[in-house]
Structure 1
Amino acid sequence: MTRFQLAILMFLVLVAAQPVLAQEPEYALGEIVVTSDKPGVDDVTNISEVTAEDIETRGATNLNEAIQMLPGVYIRTAADGTPRIDIRGFRTRHIKLLINGVPFQSTYDGQFDPASIPAENISRIVLTKGASSVLYGAGGTAAVINIITKGGNQGTHGSVGLRAGQEDSYLGKASLSGASEKGYFFSSVSRLNSNAYPISDEFDKNEEQDSDTRENSDRERNSFFFNGGYNISANTQLGAVLSYSGGSYGKPPSVIVDASDPFGKTAKYERLEDYSDLGVQLNLRHEFETPLTIDMAVYGNQRNELTKGYDDDSYSTTDASGSSKSDSTSTIAGASMRAKYDFDAYGALTAALSGENQSWEETGFTKKKKGETVIDTNQDLQEYSAALEYTITPVDPLTLVAGTGYVAQTGPESETATDWTYLLGASYRPLEGTTISANHARKVRFASIRNLFDSQYGNPDLDPEVAKHFEINLDQELPFKTVFSGSVYRTYAEDLIEKEGDLPYENYEEYLLQGFELGLENRFFESFWARASYAYLHTEDKSDNTERDELQYRPRDTVTVEAQYTCSFGTALYAGVRYVGNQYTYNEIATLKKRMDDFTVVDLKLSQAFLENTLKLYAGVNNLFDEDYEESYGFPRPGRALYCGFDYVF
C-alpha cells in the first residue's frame, strides 16, 4: 500500500469532530466590495473562505499555510526562498492581495511574501478565483485574496501563546482586544524564529546539502498589529489599521551538483538580511437616510529589503563574480471611494473610484567577470480605475450581475496604458439547497516596474496582460449534512509577461488554462467535520513557434483531505493530506522537459482543551511520513518536523 493510499484509509476509519464556535469578531470597514444581506457578486463568482477557526485547527502560522488546503491553490517554494501562491496555473503576481481591502504587494514585481503575513491577526480570508468584481480595479487576473483582520468583543480580552519546534524554532504571540458601544480595537505582537528546517532522511546528501538541516533556511519575523473602529454616530464609522512585520531569512541554494544537468540551477548563496513591511490605512463609512452608503479609504504601505548574494556558502563576503547587493524600497500610496445605492426591488448599483502611486527605489551592485554594475534606480507608476457594478434579483431564485471598469497606468518613461474590464454573472436556485452559477469576465494586469524598467531585462513596450474567464459552478446540499461543490472553468490568458534565459521580458501570445474542481464536506454529527477536494488543471502554451506544450510547475492533479475528531473531554485530533501529481519542468530555453516526482504530505495535530476552553495544549507533526519532495527542481522541502505549544485566552 502506498503512503497516499494509507493516508486516505486513515480518513475512511477516522470519526472526525469539531465544536461549533462563535464567529470571530472582525474589522468591519475593510471590505472593498460593499456588501449587504441581498444576493450580490459573491453569488455568481467562485468564493472560498478560511476562518480563524480553520487556521487554528490546521496549526497555520502564516498566510500560505492558512490557504494551502483550498482547491486550485498550489504553494511552491523555489530559488528565492519565498513561498509563492499559484492559483489555477497563474503565478503570485497575477493575484491581487488585499488586507482589509487595501493592496499589499510589491510595486517592483507585483508579488508578495505570504510567509511574512502572520496568521494570528486573521479573522477571515476570502479567496475569489477567476472572475472577480470589477470594483477591485486592475490586477487579480488569477484571483483576489482579501484578508479581513480581527476585531474586538464587548469588554476587554487577551491571549498569549507559545509554540516550539525542532531546530530551536519558536513562535511567541500575545493579543489584547476590546469593544464598547462606541467602538472596538484589536492589537497583537508576535515573534517567530527558526534556525533551520529539517531535511528528509530519504534525501541523498551531497556537497551542496551535507547536513540533516536545510542549508541557509533560517527565518526570523517580528510583527505588531493594531486596528480599531469608532462610531462617530449611528450612521458614521471611522476606522484605522496599523501593521508592521520585519525580520530576515535565508534562501536555500540548489542541491544539484551535476553541472551538465540541463534542468538544474547553479547554486546561489543569497540572504534577505533585513526586511520590513509597514502598512497604514484610514477608513470612513457613512450611511445616508436614503439607501446610499459611501465608503472611503486612504492607505499606504512600504516594504524595505536588504538582499545580498555572497561568494560562497560561508555567507560572509561579496567580492567574487556573481555576488550582489540590493537595498530596495517598494511603496504604494492611494485612495479609493465606493458608493452603493439600493433601489430595493430594482437592484443595487455600486460605483468605485481609485488611484494610487507605486514607487520603487533600489541601490546596490552586481559583480560579473566583465566588472561591477552599479544599481541606482528610482521609478514610479500611477494606476487609476473607475467601475460600475449592478446587481438585481428579478425573481427570487435568480440573481444577475453586470459590471464594467476602466483602468489606466501612467509612468515617466512609458506611454499611458488604458484598458477595460467587465464581469457578467448569474446564479439560479432551482431547488432548496441547489445553486447553479455561471460567469464570464475580462481581467487586466499592467506590467510592473521590473517588467518595464529592469536594467537588464526591462521592456517599456510591453502590453497589459489580459485574462478571459469562463466558469460554471454548482453547490448542492446532500443528505446527512453533506455539501458538494463543483466548478468547471476555461481561461484564455493573452500577452502574459515572462522571460526566457537572458532575453528581455516579452508578451507571450496566448496560454490556455482549463480544468475542474470538486469538493465534499460533511458535518453530520454535532461535532463532526471532514472535507476533501480534487483539482484538475490542463495547461497549453498556444503561442506561435513555442517549444512547450504544457506549462512548467503547474501540477495536473492536486488532492486535499482533512478531518478532525474531538472527544467529549476536549481532546481533538486533526489530520490533513496534500497530494500533488503530474507536473513538469523545462530547461532554461524550454527545449527539454522533465517530469517531477509526485508527492504526498500528511500533517497531524493533537490538542487538549482545559478551563472551559480558555487553555489549549497541542502537539503536532508536519510531513508525518518524512516525504522527500520538491516543489521546484533541485530545492528539497522540509522533512518530518515536530512542534508543541499552548494558547491561553482571558
Structure 2
Amino acid sequence: MTRFQQAFMLLLALVLAHPASAQEAEYVLGEIVVKSDKPGVEDVTNVAEVTAEDIEMRGATTLNEAIEMLPGVYIRTAADGTPRIDVRGFRTRHIKLLINGTPFQSTYDGQFDPASIPAENIARIVLTKGASSVLYGAGGTAAVINIITKGGEQGMHGSVGVRAGEVDSYLGKASLSGGSEKGFFFGSVSSLNSKAYPISDDFDRNAAQDSDNRENSDRDRDSAFFNGGYNISDSTKLGAVFSYTGGSYGKPPSVITDSKDPFGKTAKYERLEDYSEVGTQFNLRHEFDFPLSLDTAVYANQRNELTKTFKDDTYDAINGKSRSTSSVAGASLRASYDFDVLGVLTTAVNGENQSWDESGFSTNTKGKKTDIGVNQDLQEYSAGLEYTITPIDQVTLVAGGSHVAQTGPESETATDWTYLLGASYRPFEGTTLSANHARKVRFASVRNLFDSASGNPDLEPEVAKHFEIGLTQELPFKTVFSGSIYRIEAQDMIEKVATPTILDPKKETYTNFEEYLFHGFEVGLENTFFDSLWIKTAYNYLDSEDKSDGSERDELQYRPRDTVSLEGKYICPFGTTLYAGLQYVANQYTYNDDATLKKRMDDFTLVDLKLSHAFLEKALSVYAGVNNLFDEDYEESYGFPRPGRTLYCGIDYFF
C-alpha cells in the first residue's frame, strides 16, 4: 500500500458527519437581464443550474467536472489533452462561455479550456441549451454557459483547504470575503499540481503506454481571483472582476501502435509548456425612479500560450514551437423597461474586438521547417430586442431578435440575424408546458478564416435552427419529472475537408458543410421525499445525421446515442454524507480519415463515490472519495485512454 493510500484510509476513518454547505453570496452585477420577480426567458427555454453546494457534493475542482452530470452534456478529452464540452451533439466552439455575463473564450478557435477554470470561485452555473437569449449576440449555437462567481456577505469570512490525490496530485486553496451596506468583496487563490493520472489495470500496456501512469498527462495550475462591488447609492452600483490563471500541461499521445489501424491517429508529442490567462471586467448598474434599469459592462481577456512539439516520446528534441496571444476587448449596454401588465422590454448593444497573434515554426515529417506568423483581428457587433409578457397568470410569452455582424481585414463584412420565440403554459399547479423556436448564428473564427494551412476567408456563418417542447410535472412523493423533445437543423457547419493539391496531397481546408441534423429527447426524475435522501436520474437520446451532399457518414463521430446519469446523496443518522454518481455512455462511433469505415466505440460505465464529515460546528470539513470506482478501462476518443480508479481526500476549514 502506498503512502497516499495509507493516508487516504486514515482520513476515510474520520469521515463521520456532513460538511458545511450554505447558499453562496453571488456577484450579480454581470447578469445580462436585470433581475425581476416576473417570468423571463428562462421560463420558455431549457435551463439547468449547478450550485456551489452541488459542486462541493460532487467533489468537482473544475468547470467540466461541475457540469458533467447535466442532461445533454458530454465531456470528451482527445488528442489536445483538454476536456471539451459537447451539448446535444455540438462542440465546445458552439458554446458561448460567459463569466458574470461577459464573454470568456479564445478568439482563435472559439473554444475554452474548462480545466483551467477553478470550481472554488463558482457560486452558480447556468446552462441554457438551444434557445438562449438573443441579447448575447452571435455565438452560442448549441448553448450558453454563464458562470456566476461568488460574492461577499456581511462581516468577514474565509476558508483554507487542501486536497491530495494519487500520483502526487495536490490542490491548495484559500479565500477571503466580506461585506457591508456599502459593498462587498471576494478573493481567492489556488494551486494545483498533478504529475499524471493513473490508467486502468485492465488497459493492455504497449510500447506507447507501458507504465501505470498516463504518459505526458501532468498538469499544473495557479489561479487568483477577485471581485467586488460598491453601492454609490441605493440605485447605482459599481462592480469589478479580476481573474488570473496560469500553468502548463502535457497532451497525452495516442496509444495505437499498429500503423495499419485505419482508425488510429499518428502519435503527436506535444506540451503546453506555459500559459497565462487574465480577465478583467467593470460593471455599472443604475435603476431610475421610473421602471427603467441600465447595465453597462467593459471587459478584456487575454490568453498567452507557449506550445512545443517534439520528435518522439523522450520530449527532448523540439520539432515545433508556437507562441500565441488571444485577446478580446469589448463593451455592452443593456436597458430594461417594465411596462407592468404590458410586459418587459429589454434591449442590448454589444461590440468587441478579437485578435490573434502567433509566431514560431513547425517541421513536417520530411524535416522541412516552416515559419509561423499570424496577426489578425476581427470585430463583432450586435443589437437586439427581447420582449416578455404574461397576458394571464398561467402563460408567459417571449419574442426577441438581434442583428449580428462581423468585420475583418481580409474578409467582407458578414451580417446575419438571430431570433427567439417561446411560450410556457401552467394549466395546473405543478405542471408547466413550454415550447420554443430559435435561430442561432456563429461566425467563423480567426483559425477558420486565416489559418496558414487550412484557412478559408470565404466561409459563411454557421446557422442552427432549434425546435423544442418541454414538460415539467410534479408527481406524488416529492418527485419531479422533466422532459423535452428537440430537433436542431444545423446549416453551413464549418469542418475540415480534404482538398488535395499537387504540392500537398494531404491538404485540408475549412469548408461549410451543408447540413447536420440533431434530434432527440431528455427525461429526468428528481426525488426529495426523505429529508436525508436525494436522488436524481436522467436519460438522453441523441440521433445525429450528416445530411451534407456526398457525405459517407450516416451518423456523426463521437456523438453518443445513449447517456444515462444517476446521482444520490444520503445523510446518515450520525451525520455522515454519502454521495454516489453513475454515468453510462453507449452507442458512439468513430470513422477513418475519409469516412469510408466506421467503428463502434466500447460502451462504458463510471461510478464515483464521496464521503464527507464536518467537525467544530461545521467549521472543519473532512472528505474522501474515489472516481471510477470499478477501474473501468474506457476511451472518449479512439486511442486515448482515460483515468482509471483514482482516490482523493481533503480538508477544508471555514472561518
* Shorter-chain TM-score range: over 0.9
Note the aligned Cα RMSD (angstroms): 1.1
1:632 aligns with 2:628: no
CA–CA separation in structure 2 for the residues paired with 1:395 and 1:21: 38
C-alpha displacement at 1:22, in angstroms? Answer: 3.8
Does the alignment pair 1:648 with 2:653? Answer: yes
Alignment of structure 1 residues 510-529 onto 2, 5 Å:
510-529=515-534
Q: What is the Cα deviation at residue 609 of structure 1?
A: 1.1
Q: CA deviation at 1:30?
A: 1.3
TM-score normalised according to structure 1 size? 0.96
Do the aligned partners of residues 163 and 370 (structure 1) sit closer, same or farther apart at CA in structure 2, a change above 3 Å counting?
closer
Separation of aligned partners in 1, 2:620 and 2:367 = 62
Aligned: 1:621 with 2:629: no
1:284 aligns with: 284
CA contact (8 A) 1:18 1:527 kept: no
Q: Matched residues in 1 for 2:21 and 2:267: separation?
A: 48
* Contact kept? 2:19, 2:612, Cα under 8 Å: no
Asked if the contact 1:20–1:527 (Cα under 8 Å) also holds between the matched residues in 2, the reply is: no
2:361 to 360, 365, 368: 365
1:355 matched to 2:351: yes
Choose the corresponding residue for 1:407, options 398, 404, 410. 404
The one of 471, 475, 486 aligned to 2:472: 475
State how 1:354-503 maps to structure 2 within 5 Å: 354-368=350-364, 369=366, 371-501=368-498, 502-503=507-508
Query: What is the Cα deviation at residue 642 of structure 1?
Result: 0.4
Question: CA contact under 8 A between 2:436 and 2:467: conserved in structure 1?
Answer: yes
- 3-state SS of the aligned residue for 2:246? strand
CA distance in 1, matches of 2:508, 2:269: 23
Report % sequence identity.
Answer: 77
Which residue does the alignment assign to 1:591?
A: 596
**Does the 8 Å CA contact 2:18/2:576 hold for their aligned counterparts?**
no
* Cα deviation, residue 80, structure 1: 0.2
Please tell me whether the aligned partners of residues 33 and 336 of structure 2 are also in contact (alpha carbons under 8 angstroms): no
**Residue in 2 that maps onto 1:152:** 152
Deviation, 1:500, is 3.0
In structure 1, C-alpha distance between the alignment counterparts of 2:287 and 2:35, rounded to whole Å:
13
Question: Structure 2: how far apart are the matches of 1:236 and 1:155?
Answer: 22
Corresponding residue for residue 343 of structure 1: 339
The residue that corresponds to 1:539 in the other structure is: 544
Distance in 2 of aligned mates of 1:465 and 1:579: 31
Report if the CA contact (8 A) 2:390-2:397 is conserved: yes
DSSP-derived class of the 2:449 partner: helix
1:108 corresponds to which residue?
108
Compared with structure 1, are the counterparts of its residues 19 and 529 closer, same or farther at alpha carbon in structure 2 (3 Å cutoff)?
farther
2:545–2:555 CA contact under 8 A, matched in 1: yes
1:329 aligns with 2:334: no
The Cα of 1:591 is off from its aligned counterpart by: 1.1
Measure, in 1, the Cα distance between the counterparts of 2:619 and 2:595: 55
Moved more, 412-421 or 562-571: 562-571
CA distance in 2, matches of 1:136, 1:458: 27
Paired residues of 2:22 and 2:53 also in contact (CA < 8 A): no
Distance in 2 between residues matched to 1:393 and 1:618, nearest whole Å: 46
Match of 1:568 in 2: 573
CA separation in 2, counterparts of 1:646 and 1:116?
Answer: 22
CA displacement 1:22-68 (0-9 Å, x = unmatched): 42100010111323110010100000000000000000000000000
Letter in 2 for 1:422: Y
Runs of at least 5 residues in structure 2 that lack an aligned partner in the other structure: 1-16, 499-506
Shift of 1:370: 5.9
Q: Letter of the aligned partner of 2:342 in structure 1? A: Y
**1:117-196 → structure 2 map (5 Å cutoff):** 117-196=117-196
CA contact 2:518–2:543 (8 Å) conserved in 1: yes
Tell me the alpha carbon deviations over residues 252-275 of structure 1, each in whole angstroms, 9 at most, x when there is no partner.
000000000010001111000000
Provide structure 1 residue ranges, at least 5 long, that are not aligned to the other structure. 1-16
Give the superposition deviation at 1:324: 1.4
Residue 569 of structure 1: how far off its partner (Å): 2.9
TM-score normalised by structure 2 residue count: 0.95
* Count, aligned residues: 630
1:61 — aligned with what?
61
